[in-house]
Structure 1
Amino acid sequence: MTTTPAPRPPEPAIARSLTLHLRGDWGMANLHRVCGWISQELTDRCGPHTKIAVWNGRGFTDAVRAVGHGEVHVALTTPAAFAAAALDGRGIHHGEAFPELRALGVVPQRDRLVVGVRRALGITSFAELRAAKPALTVATSVNDGVNHVGLAAHELLERSGVDVRGWGGTFLEDERPFESFDHVLAGRADTVVHEAVMLPHWQEFGGDMHFLEVEQDVLDGLRADHAWPSAVIEEGYFPGCPRFQTLDFSDFLVLTRSDLPEDVAYAIAWVLGETRDLLERQYRHIPPERSPVTYPLDPVAMGRAPIPLHPGAARYYDALPTD
C-alpha cells in the first residue's frame, strides 16, 4: 500500500513587479549569501520588472533599526534572540521600541559566545578569575552599541565581576571575528570572548585555552533583562574541553515590518522553506556541526522565531505538513 505525500504549501506567483531593499552583512559573509538566495528566488516568482537591492550592513542592531525605521524592507540579524528586546525597547534597544517588527523565518546556525583564557594563566572558572585579577589582553569585537558580539562580551564580563581595565588589562577590539582570532593566534591576546565557534580557528588555538563556564546567576540575569538565552558547548567540541554552559548566539533572523504586503511575506517564507536546498548545497562540504549554516534545514524549525511571525509568513508555516 502506498501513501500519497502531504501537499506542500503552494508556490507563490506575484504578477506585479516589486522594488525591494534587503540588508545583509559586510558583503562576503553568510547574511549576504542568504539575501542573495532570497533575491534570486523571489525575483523568479514576481513581475518581470522586479528589482531587489541588497545593502551592506553589519547584521546587528543596525539591521533591526534599519527595518524598524523603514530604511529597508527586509534585513538579517544574528543572533536571532537579540532582536526580541527591540519589540518593547528594552535592554540593548532601550529607549527605542519597534513593536511592528515581524519575522519571516529563521535560518538555523548553531553558535555560542564563549570566554577562553590561556591555560598558562591557570584559571579555570570565573571565581578563580575574580580572585586572581590578572591583567588580561582580551580579543573581542567593538563595543559601540551596534556590534552584538562586543555588546554581549562586555555585558557578560561586567556581570561576571571581571574588570579588565580596572585590573590593568586591555581590550583588542575589531569588527569581525577573523581579526580577533589573529590576535590570539599571534600571541597578542591571552583571552578571547567571541562567537563563530564553528570556524577552524578555534581548533587551532582551543587546545591552549580554558573555556570558562558562565555562572547561572549571570545567565539568568541576561535572560531576564535582555531575553538572551543560554546553551551548552558539548565535551570535545574544542580540543580537550569539557562540556560547559555559556551564552547562546544562534540563528539568523529574517526581519521585516508588519506593513510588508502579505503576499510578499508569504513568498519569502516559501523561498526559505521550499528552496532551502539551494542554500544547503553551498555548505554540504562542511560537517553540519562545523558549518556556518546548520543543515539540513527544517522548514518547521525555520518558522519558530523569537518575535511574532508576519501573517503572510505564518500562512506558509501553518500550511506545512505535520507528519
Structure 2
Amino acid sequence: MPPSAPSLSRSVSLHLQGDWGTANLHRVCGWLAQELTDRCGPHTRVGIFSGRGGADAARAVGRGQVHIALTTPAAFAAAALDGRGVYAGEAVPDLRALGGLPQRDRLVVGVDRSLGVTTFAELRAAAPRLRLATGPHDGTNLIGWGADELLRRSGIDVTGWGGEIFTDERPWQTFERVVSGEADAIVHEAVMLPAWQRFGSRLAFLPVERHVLDGLADDFGWPPAIVPEGHFPDCPEFETLDFSDFLVLTRSDLPEDLAYLIAWILGETRATIEAQYRHLPPERSPLTYPLDPVAMGRSPVPLHPGAARYYGSLEAA
C-alpha cells in the first residue's frame, strides 16, 4: 500500500535549479514546482533558476543559493562530498539527495571509420590529428570532466598529436560538428538522442580499457556500463563509462517534512512526468520510464533523512 499523501499547512518559498531552460532537468523542476504548490500553504512560491546541470548544482546547494538543484550523471555528484576532482577546494559535506530519476546514458568515444582504428591501442599507435568534439573541461561541465579523465588515462593526446578540440556546452552543438564533418571524433553522452542515428554509422566506438574503468571507479566511484549491440548503427556491444540518471540534490538542513514531501512527489506522482516521455520508446527516451520508486531511493549521495523515511517505507511495505 503506498504511503498516504502528505501536505504542509504552512506556505514555503523554494528556489530550484535545473538546466539551461528547455531540457529535461528544467522539466523535472516544473513538475516538482506544480506538485509542491498543490500540497503546501496558499502563499507558496517556487522559483526555478537556470543552471548547467553539472558541478554547479552541488555548488549552488552548498552555497545556499538554491534549496534544490538537479545534476547528471548521478555518480559524479559523490565527489562533491569530500571535494575531489572538479569539486576540489569547495567540498559540500552536507550535500544530500532527495531521489534520482533514471536516464540510461553512457559517455562514449567515437572516431571516424576512415581512420581505421577500433581500439584505444590502435588509436595510440596511429596518433592521428584528430578533430575532436566534446564538452568544455571548465570545472563545471561534467561531460568535459569525464572526457578529460577518460582520454588522459587512455593515453590520448589530441593537441599533442597536432589535432584540435572543439568544445560546446550543449550536445546538439557538438553533434552538428560531427554531422557537418568539422569533427572526426567525439566524446559525449545523450546516446538515446536521434542525432546519433544520423552519424553513428560513420563512427567506430572504442571500448574503454579495463584499467581505465577500474581507475575511474576507484578514484571517483564512476561505474562502467555496456552499450548493447545495435544501439548505434552497425555497432557491436562495447563497454564504456556509465553516465546515467538525474539526481535531485539538497542540503541536510532542508526541513525534514519538506524533504519527505518532495521524495513522496518523486515516487507517487511519477505518472505526471512519465506522460511527457511516453511517445518515445523507453530505450530512446531521455527519461527511462517506467519509474521505480524503490530504485529512485538508491543514491551515490546520502539521502536526506526525510527522503530516507519515504523510501524506507517502500522497502518495508
TM-score by length of 2: 0.99
1:76 aligns with 2:108: no
1:119 aligns with 2:113: yes
Verify the 8 A CA contact 1:8 1:321 in the aligned structure 2.
no
Deviations 1:250-308 (A, max 9, x none): 00000000000001000000000000000000000000000000000000000001111
Please show how residues 70-109 of structure 1 align to structure 2 within 5 Å: 70-109=64-103
Task: State the one-letter code of the partner of 2:271.
Answer: D
Verify the 8 A CA contact 2:54 2:71 in the aligned structure 1.
yes
Q: CA deviation at 1:203?
A: 0.7
**Residue 257 of structure 1: aligned partner:** 251
Q: CA deviation at 1:322?
A: 5.5
CA–CA distance in structure 2, aligned partners of residues 130 and 230 of structure 1: 22
Q: Give me the CA root mean square deviation.
A: 0.9
Match of 2:171 among 174, 177, 181: 177
CA–CA distance in structure 1, aligned partners of residues 283 and 169 of structure 2: 25
CA–CA distance in structure 1, aligned partners of residues 239 and 155 of structure 2: 17
Match of 2:203 among 192, 200, 209: 209
Q: Cα 1:321–1:130, aligned 2, differ >3 Å: closer, same or farther?
A: closer
**Residue 55 of structure 1: aligned partner:** 49
Please show how residues 8-87 of structure 1 align to structure 2 within 5 Å: 8-87=2-81
Verify the 8 A CA contact 2:59 2:90 in the aligned structure 1.
no
Q: CA deviation at 1:321?
A: 5.8
Please show how residues 269-288 of structure 1 align to structure 2 within 5 Å: 269-288=263-282
Deviations 1:126-180 (A, max 9, x none): 0000000000000111111100001111111111000000000001110000010
How many residues are treated as equivalent by the alignment? 317
CA–CA distance in structure 2, aligned partners of residues 178 and 289 of structure 1: 19
**Residue 312 of structure 2: aligned partner:** 318
CA–CA distance in structure 1, aligned partners of residues 11 and 58 of structure 2: 26
CA–CA distance in structure 2, aligned partners of residues 223 and 298 of structure 1: 25
Please show how residues 146-157 of structure 1 align to structure 2 within 5 Å: 146-157=140-151
Percent of aligned positions that are identical:
68
CA–CA distance in structure 2, aligned partners of residues 199 and 241 of structure 1: 16
Detail structure 1 runs of 4+ shifted over 6 Å in the superposition.
none
**Residue 239 of structure 1: aligned partner:** 233
Secondary structure at 1:83 match in 2:
helix
Secondary structure at 1:106 match in 2:
strand
Verify the 8 A CA contact 2:70 2:248 in the aligned structure 1.
yes
TM-score by length of 1: 0.97
Deviations 1:25-67 (A, max 9, x none): 0000000000000000011000000000000000000011000
CA–CA distance in structure 1, aligned partners of residues 292 and 52 of structure 2: 26
Q: CA deviation at 1:91?
A: 2.2
Mark the runs of 5 or more structure 1 residues left unpaired by the alignment: 1-6
CA–CA distance in structure 1, aligned partners of residues 234 and 117 of structure 2: 15
CA–CA distance in structure 2, aligned partners of residues 94 and 148 of structure 1: 14
CA–CA distance in structure 2, aligned partners of residues 281 and 38 of structure 1: 14
Verify the 8 A CA contact 2:124 2:156 in the aligned structure 1.
yes
Verify the 8 A CA contact 1:91 1:225 in the aligned structure 2.
no
1:133 aligns with 2:154: no
Task: State the one-letter code of the partner of 1:284.
Answer: R
Please show how residues 281-300 of structure 1 align to structure 2 within 5 Å: 281-300=275-294
Task: State the one-letter code of the partner of 1:149.
Answer: I
Secondary structure at 1:117 match in 2:
strand
Task: State the one-letter code of the partner of 1:161.
Answer: G
Secondary structure at 1:260 match in 2:
coil
Mark the runs of 5 or more structure 2 residues left unpaired by the alignment: none
Deviations 1:198-242 (A, max 9, x none): 000111111111000000100111111122111110011101101
Secondary structure at 2:283 match in 1:
helix
Q: Select between 149-158 and 283-292 the one with higher mean Cα deviation.
A: 149-158
Task: State the one-letter code of the partner of 1:198.
Answer: M
Q: CA deviation at 1:90?
A: 1.5
Q: CA deviation at 1:87?
A: 0.8
